[in-house]
Structure 1
Amino acid sequence: MKNLPKWAAKHRDKWEYRGQKRPSFALKPKKGQESVWDYPRPPVLDPDDREVIVKWENIIIAKSSNTIRLLETASPPTFYLPPQDVNLDYLIKTDKTSRCEWKGKAIYWNVLVDGDKIINAAWSYQTPFDDYKEIAGYFCFYPKKVPCFVDGEKVRPQPGGFYGGWITDEIVGPVKGESNKTYL
């Protein structure tokens, strides 16, 4: 990408694992499974037509069969849902932001349902870097903050305080955040 900010280039250069060869410590996937160590870096966007539901109690916040999975070495996929499939009445933009060396600046959203306020439960990239413009305006949710489902399977959250990956039975690791080891 041309005109990449210096901070992003610096962070991109530090990665040791880039999905070309599965490291010896990685679990071998069984039939129907994917190893996070086979995902590439830079990450790829993968359209997915499985039904994804995000809800709080019995209220559906988002429901889509037109999501985009972001696949990145060492991390479980994150599912990005198109804005037309998200009930924006339940989202309130916050002041929190973060930066990703691949996608750019993220903004965060609280979920507010029936008086329950879930802080920074979702994020989005309004103006991502060029290589990820396909997810501009899409929403992703933290499965540790709000229940998320892929084809009826409840998603397990990626360990660690910051990560938002979606772990399902099809994913094998170890995943970034799972231990004290840093997977670069």
Structure 2
Amino acid sequence: RSAWLRPGSGRSFCEWKGVASYWDLLRDDGGPQERRLSRALWSYPQPTERFSALAGWFSLYPALMDGCWVDGEPVQPQPGGFYGGWILPWLQGPFKGDPAHPELR
């Protein structure tokens, strides 16, 4: 729901996809005030031609959410704070960011 999103601070650059913009997520837990999750999502408003299908879509960091599921299976966040990968039971690692595999940096 776009009403829950606010432009976040900073940008980053991917050599394949281009410049990413970050978004803050506003959460209303029913309490007296809403909670703001800074830079919880990102998007590529003008991705490179090869990744043009990403325009208009958002990605989110599952580690910042209370939970994420795919086909009823809980998502494990990709190790490390930089990557936003969604690790599911049917995927095999190792995955970038895993401290047990420094060769994947």
1:97 maps to 11
Residue in structure 2 matching 1:139, options 58, 72, 89: 58
1:160 maps to 80
Tell me the amino acid that sits aligned with residue 181 of structure 1: P
1:152, CA displacement in angstroms? 1.5
Is the counterpart of residue 181 in structure 1 residue 102 in structure 2? yes
1:95, CA displacement in angstroms? 2.3
Residue in structure 1 matching 2:43, options 101, 124, 131: 124
The within-5 A match list for 1:1-184 is 87-114=1-28, 115-146=34-65, 147-179=67-99, 181-183=102-104
Percent pairwise identity: 44
1:182, CA displacement in angstroms? 3.3
Contact kept? 2:9, 2:39, Cα under 8 Å: no
- Report the TM-score when normalising by structure 2: 0.88
CA RMSD of aligned residues (A): 1.2
Q: Of the two structures, which has the highest relative contact order with CA contacts closer than 8 Å and spacing of 6 or more? A: 1
CA displacement 1:63-109 (0-9 Å, x = unmatched): xxxxxxxxxxxxxxxxxxxxxxxx00111111221011110100011
The whole-number CA distance in structure 1 between the counterparts of 2:8 and 2:39 is: 7
- Report the TM-score when normalising by structure 1: 0.51
Of 157-166 and 146-155, deviating more is 146-155
Partner SS for 1:182 = helix
Max radius of gyration: which structure? Answer: 1
Tell me the amino acid that sits aligned with residue 144 of structure 1: A
Q: Which sections of structure 1, spanning at least 5 residues, go unmatched?
A: 1-86
Contact kept? 2:80, 2:97, Cα under 8 Å: yes
1:148, CA displacement in angstroms? 1.7
Mark the CA change 1:97 to 1:182 in structure 2 (over 3 Å): closer, same or farther. farther
